[in-house]
Amino acid sequence: MSKSIGQATTDIIDEAITFFRANVFFKNFDIQSPADKLLIYLTFYINVALKRLEGCRTLAEGTKAVINLGLEDVPVPGESGFPFPGLFPLPGSQQEAELLRNYLKQIREETSGRLLSVAYRHNGTPNKWWLAFAKRKFINTIAL
């Protein structure tokens, strides 16, 4: 959801991070649009990223952990490892699957960078009010 011109713009990544700590407690969602599906996927990804950051005591360690997460394969619907079978339609072709994979990889990378800015304080120490949520299981889905 974006704000009007002249105000700060909020995108789906900002929305996912802003509402993560509330959304992680939900067991199901009323999906009304494709944006809701992406919000669910990003909430899951943030949960995965926080689990990776859990043992990282500095921003430098956290950055390395998130970069390594970004280097992992990104499964798409229909592939083993995709967290929500049936949430997104299956790609119609290999080209469509690669396009979706690249999109998910790009949105995960952008989310990771923004997440680091809230998961760690300006002095590079962990923000316990964020990293404590690494222990949560999002809609009973085990994070990778």
pTM across the whole model: 0.87
Q: Which two tokens stand for residue 7?
A: 């105000």
Distance CA 122, CA 119 (A): 10
Q: Which residues contact 38 (CB under 8 A, 6 or more apart)?
A: 12, 107
Average pLDDT per 10 consecutive residues for the chain, totaling 144 residues: 55 93 83 92 93 94 94 92 89 96 95 95 93 76 52
Residue 141 covered by a domain:
no
CATH number of the domain that 107 lies in? Answer: 1.10.1760.10
Distance CA 79, CA 17 (A): 26
The number of domains in the chain is 1
